[in-house]
Amino acid sequence: MARRQRTRAVAAGTAVSVAALCAAWVPALGQEGDGGLLFTLGLSTTLSASDNADLDPVSAGDTFLSETTLSFGLESITRTQALRFSLSDTFRTGDGPGAPATAGFRGTNADLSYERFVANSRFNLSARLNTRDLNADVSDEDIEDSDDLIVDNGTLTTTRLGFGLETGLEAPFGTELSLSQFRRKYSGTTDPDLEDSRRLTGNVALIFRPDPMTETRLAYTHTEYVAEDVQGTERTTRSLAVSARRQLDPNTAITGSLGWTEITETWTAVPLTLPADSGFTASLGYSRGLPAGNFSAELSRDVTSAGGRTDISATRAFEFPAGTVEITLGATKPDASSLQPTGRIALSRALPDQRFSVALSSNISVNSDSV
């Protein structure tokens, strides 16, 4: 399906950017070991020039862009609780294709989290607001979510709300309860396929620890997804699974799970109920710490809204005094497709006053339209 996931191929054009970054910070005010407040204030400026900002087959012209980000942060951490808050916005101005039509702020980004430990239990609340330009450069967040690989003008605003409660953290028996909501809202876009959506997820788990080296859990997850598209998509996902983790020695652990997933989808605008996707899920994993890094391998069977899939992967990470190297090789076999190779190579290098990193990866994912 040809849609908004069109990537910006490097072969389509070249880009040269010059960036200058400066940061100002306010030292801790009354920071103590038991819960003083830490305030931070940041300022960063980026200047860029590109001969093909949108990486089109034929360049629409040169683009010059200036982005200045202002940020504020607050943090308070004690032995029993932690509060973190951050707020930022970016002022953008420029000229050429991809530059804002008028100078102004992009939109607020805010992040709030609160965590508290009491009576062998943990309680947490979180809220996040993120605003991004759809015609900006591809970021790490885009790679993690294929639905964000969008070529269009306008703005995407996402909001996340979360609640969690864990009991019996150090006891033979424990429980987990979590509830989260995620919303996507588009503005100023031209692509009719960019629809607003929301996802509500609840999870409950019973945990049993027969000994310090073993943990088993029985978990149920329920997800409701609603999209404001032409079909009026409503999708419900129910999953029940039992899993276990066993620490064989201080450096070696194995994990496994077995469960059942059912996905039902309805188009309310038609109306039409599509055939359900359901089946067993399973996984088996192994990890071992090594003198200069670690090794891990996993084999899994999952059920998605695009059908069943089987994944296998192996990762070797090397840790050096000045950096890390991580290599992952694997393959994915969707039920309705052939075997697809996956993998990742990542290099990180620490320098006296900065860090350099580069990564190349290939992954198979399912978007919100079950593709």
Segment 222-275, tens digit of pLDDT: 999 999 988 899 999 999 999 999 999 999 999 999 999 999 999 998 888 888
Is the CB of residue 295 less than 8 Å from the CB of residue 288? yes
Q: What is the pLDDT confidence band of residue 7, given thresholds at 50, 70 and 90?
A: very low
pLDDT of 92 reads 85
- Give φ, ψ of 22 to 5 degrees: -135, 150
pLDDT of 191 reads 76
Q: What is the pLDDT confidence band of residue 289, given thresholds at 50, 70 and 90?
A: very high
pLDDT digits (tens, 9 = 90+) for 38-78: 999 999 998 988 888 767 788 888 888 898 999 999 999 99
- Give φ, ψ of 281 to 5 degrees: -120, 150
Name the pTM for this structure: 0.77
pLDDT digits (tens, 9 = 90+) for 332-357: 999 888 899 999 999 999 888 888 89
Q: Which residues pair with 331 in a beta bridge?
A: 312, 341
Indicate the SS3 state at residue 136: coil
Is the CB of residue 256 less than 8 Å from the CB of residue 243? yes
pLDDT of 226 reads 94
pLDDT of 188 reads 79
Give the DSSP H or E segment for 143: helix 140-144
Question: 246: burial class by Cβ within 10 Å (0-12, 13-18, 19+)?
Answer: middle
CA dist., res. 138 & res. 148, Å (int): 9
CA-nearest of 54, 75, 65, 76 to 9 is: 54
Give the DSSP H or E segment for 318: strand 307-320
Question: 139: burial class by Cβ within 10 Å (0-12, 13-18, 19+)?
Answer: exposed
- For residue 206, pLDDT beyond 60: yes
CA dist., res. 253 & res. 138, Å (int): 36
CA-nearest of 92, 87, 91 to 108 is: 87
Q: What is the pLDDT confidence band of residue 321, given thresholds at 50, 70 and 90?
A: confident
